[in-house]
Amino acid sequence: MTTRQKSDVLVVFGATGDLAHKMIFPSLYAMMKRGTLDTPIIGVAFDAWSREQLVARARDAVATHVDAIDEAVFDKLAARLSYVSGDYRNPETFAQLRTALGQHQHPLYYLAIPPSLFETVVTGLSTAGIAATARLMVEKPFGHDLASAKALNAALHAVFEEEAIFRIDHFLGKEAIQNLLYFRFANSFLEPVWNRDHVESVQITMAEDFGIKGRGKFYDEVGCIRDVIQNHLVNVLLLLAMEPPASSASDDLVDEKVQILKAMPPLTHADVVRGQFDGYLDEPGVAPGSSRETFAAARFRVQTWRWNSVPFFIRAGKNLPAHATEVVVRFKQPPVALFDNGAQTPSNYVRFRLGPDIAIGIGARRKLAGDGMQGEAVELAAVDDGVGDMAPYERLIGDAMAGERQLFTRQDAAELAWKIIEPILDNPAKPGSYQPGSWGPAEMADFAPPGGWVDPA
Ligand SMILES: NC(=O)C1=CN([C@@H]2O[C@H](COP(=O)(O)OP(=O)(O)OC[C@H]3O[C@@H](n4cnc5c(N)ncnc54)[C@H](OP(=O)(O)O)[C@@H]3O)[C@@H](O)[C@H]2O)C=CC1
Ligand SMILES: O=C1O[C@H](COP(=O)(O)O)[C@@H](O)[C@H](O)[C@H]1O
């Protein structure tokens, strides 16, 4: 299959599951509405459902996520749906799928299934002779540590070439995160100051004001560092730190990200604060006495000419006081404090609000009206209302079907990210406890970027 060839059928493994309900069907509906989906869609899962049951499930999924279903659009989606029922461990399931594919030669197989079944399905596709001219889209988590990520890559590569594999990190499909790349490299005014001469620190906060939403079993195996830092937030860091790519071609972009990953030394325990919210151990599915973190803050180093000595801090957690993902790039103080009676005033910054609301702000000081040279902090902000923005899964499914790899994680990048995080995974020490609605455990009092954390409003 050439890299430019469009997939001519979408096959969703896990069509009856939670992710399909929450993200995939609403995205397929949105694609249909936008006119960007014109292929058949085959769901494959264990439940002995009829096609009508799958259509009903898809309808429920869409109804849950849109204000009012456009019936004509949904009917077009429903008309494209078919269903193959069977166990992925049974070769007969793949024989049935081969029949269902009919004349279609270039499927996109979307693995929205438990990771323990990725290899089983890939082998099943290969044995049935329906893998050679196909693409594979793989859900997170992509491995549990470096060794498992490597093993998974080896299993996928036994059947699919790297160019045919699309590893999802839904953060990369977000409009605001694409804008990080755009804002940095579509403007020239940032470049002269975007380096260690001018930047004091970079901080990335992903705060969620809700808990683990009944996903105790999943979350307790994963924890905050694996769930969002190793993937989503390291990806944000890479977009902030990377050098300008030679072109916007996928491999040129990823090559620059990989250069940054190679320049980041593995974390040590001294680089990390872990926390667990009070009440976590009472959540269904959480192991008794679990030491899994629901909060983590980490200090990363990027040892390049541009960034050496600039700390990159990431913090993330459940049950924090706000729901916001935000980056603050803080610039150094002016060399001489001429005004404000010589006081060191908050310095300049660039703030990227990545979600749920979207904004870019530039922090500066201006003089207050009056006789004295006293000032105040102001922010020049561009706020995006998000109306009409493409949801990440819609963008990513569309890109994978088109063979567009820019927003997917390449094998080397996935493995390097694990290498950096690996030493701090699975710390048996008890994380510091924190009250739901606070900014993490007491240890955070001594763990902050120069100038302190900026708590998103
Ligand atoms: N749910 C979420 O919010 C998110 C999920 N993900 C990832 O997406 C993937 C799927 O997660 P999720 O939808 O929550 O999982 P679910 O457990 O809800 O769904 C699993 C799906 O796999 C099918 N399945 C499982 N075992 C078999 C089998 N042996 N043979 C045939 N079908 C089987 C199930 O079919 P059946 O129902 O018929 O038994 C079901 O359709 C995972 O990798 C997860 O990490 C990523 C981000 C968020
Ligand atoms: O992958 C995940 O992301 C969500 C947050 O995603 P967002 O797009 O809603 O910001 C997080 O809540 C979840 O724990 C994690 O698995």
Domain boundary among 124, 139, 154: 139
Taking only the tens place, the pLDDT of each residue in 359-411 is 999 999 999 999 899 999 999 999 988 888 899 999 999 999 999 999 999 99
Question: Do 278 and 417 belong to one domain?
Answer: yes
- Distance in angstroms (rounded) separating the CA atoms of residues 160 and 40: 22
* pLDDT confidence bin for 52, thresholds 50/70/90: very high
Q: At what angle do helices 146-157 and 411-421 cross, to 10 degrees?
A: 170
Counting Cα atoms < 13 Å in the Cβ hemisphere of 357 gives: 13
Residue span of the structural domain in which 434 resides:
172-389+411-446
Nearest listed ligand to the Cα of residue 18:
1
Is there a domain that residue 147 lies in? no
Which pairing describes strands 349-355 and 324-331: parallel, antiparallel, or unpaired? antiparallel
Residues 179 and 130 in one domain: no
Please work out whether the CB of residue 84 comes within 6 Å of at least one atom of ligand 1: no
Q: Tell me how far apart the alpha carbons of residues 36 and 404 are, in angstroms, rounded to a whole number.
A: 14
**What tokens were used for 167?**
């590893």
Choice from 140, 142, 169, 170 to test ligand 2 binding pocket (greatest atom count within 8 A of CB): 170
In-domain check, residue 187: yes
How many Cβ atoms are within 10 Å of 145's Cβ, its own excluded?
15
184 and 117 together in one domain: no
Strand duo 199-207 + 324-331: pairing: antiparallel
> Is residue 177 in some structural domain?
yes
pLDDT in tens, 143-201: 999 999 999 999 999 999 999 999 999 999 999 999 999 999 999 999 999 999 999 99
Same domain? For 128 and 206 the reply is: no
Catalytic residue IDs: 232
What does the alpha-carbon distance between residue 445 and residue 93 come to, in Å, rounded to a whole number? 55
Annotated binding site: 140, 170, 174, 208, 227, 318
**CA 106 and chain centroid, separation:** 27
Pocket test for ligand 2, best of 227, 233, 283, 318 (most atoms within 8 A of CB): 227
Q: Do residues 17 and 75 share a domain?
A: yes
* Separation CA 48–CA 68 (nearest Å): 30
> Would you say residue 404 lies in a domain?
no
Query: Of 84, 115, 139, which residue constitutes the final position of a domain?
Result: 139
Please tell me the distance from the alpha carbon of residue 196 to that of residue 244, in angstroms, as a whole number.
16
Q: What's residue 20's pLDDT?
A: 97
CB of 221 within 6 A of ligand 1: the answer is no
Ligand 2 site residues (CB inside 6 A) read 208, 227-228, 355
Number of Cβ atoms within 10 Å of the Cβ of 361: 18
Q: pLDDT tens across 269-308, in order?
A: 999 999 999 999 999 999 999 999 999 999 999 999 999 9
Query: What is the 8-class DSSP label of residue 336?
Result: S
Per-residue model confidence as pLDDT tens digits over 69-121: 999 999 999 999 999 999 999 999 999 999 999 999 999 999 999 999 999 99
CATH number reported for the structural domain that contains residue 15 in this entry = 3.40.50.720
Ligand 1 centre to CA of 87 (Å) is 13
Is 117 a pocket residue for ligand 1 (Cβ < 6 Å)?
A: yes
Residue type, 347: S
> What gap in Å lies between CA 228 and CA 248, rounded to an integer?
26
Residues 352 and 224 in one domain: yes
- My answer on whether 242 and 95 are in the same domain is no
- The CATH number of residue 266's host domain is 3.30.360.10
Ligand nearest to the CA of 171: 2
Closest C-alpha residue for ligand 2 atom 6: 171
* Residue 52 sits in the same domain as residue 128: yes
CA distance 108 to 138: 11
Statement to judge: residues 226 and 112 lie in one domain: no
Residue found by looking up tokens 């404090």 in the block: 337
Residue 201 inside a domain? The answer is yes
Structural domains counted in the chain? 2
The predicted model scores a pTM of 0.96
Confidence of residue 128 (pLDDT cuts 50, 70, 90): very high
Beta strand pairing status for 295-300 and 358-367? unpaired
Measured at the CA of 160, the angle between CA 127 and CA 17, to 5 degrees, comes to: 75
| Ligand 2, atom 8, residue with closest C-alpha | 171
Could you tell me if 427 and 292 are in contact, meaning their C-beta atoms sit under 8 angstroms apart?
Answer: no
Cα 429 from Cα 427, distance rounded (Å) = 5
pLDDT digits (tens, 9 = 90+) for 305-348: 999 999 999 999 999 999 999 999 999 999 898 898 888 777 79
Tell whether 394 is covered by a domain: no
Any atom of ligand 1 within 6 Å of the Cβ of 113: yes
Element (H, E) at 44: strand 41-45
Annotated binding site for substrate: 170, 174, 208, 227, 318
Same domain, 351 and 211: yes
Among the bound ligands, name the one nearest to the CA of residue 48: 1
**Is-contact 260 241, C-beta < 8 A?**
yes
Closest ligand 2 atom to Cα of 212: 14
Q: Does residue 400 form part of some domain?
A: no
Do both 224 and 315 map to the same domain? yes
- Residue 207: inside a domain: yes
Question: What DSSP line would sit under 258-326, residue for residue?
Answer: HHHHHTSPPP-GGGEEEEEETTGGGSTTPPTT----SEEEEEE---STTTTT--EEEEEESS-S--EEE
Q: How far is the CA of 206 from the centre of ligand 2 (A)?
A: 9
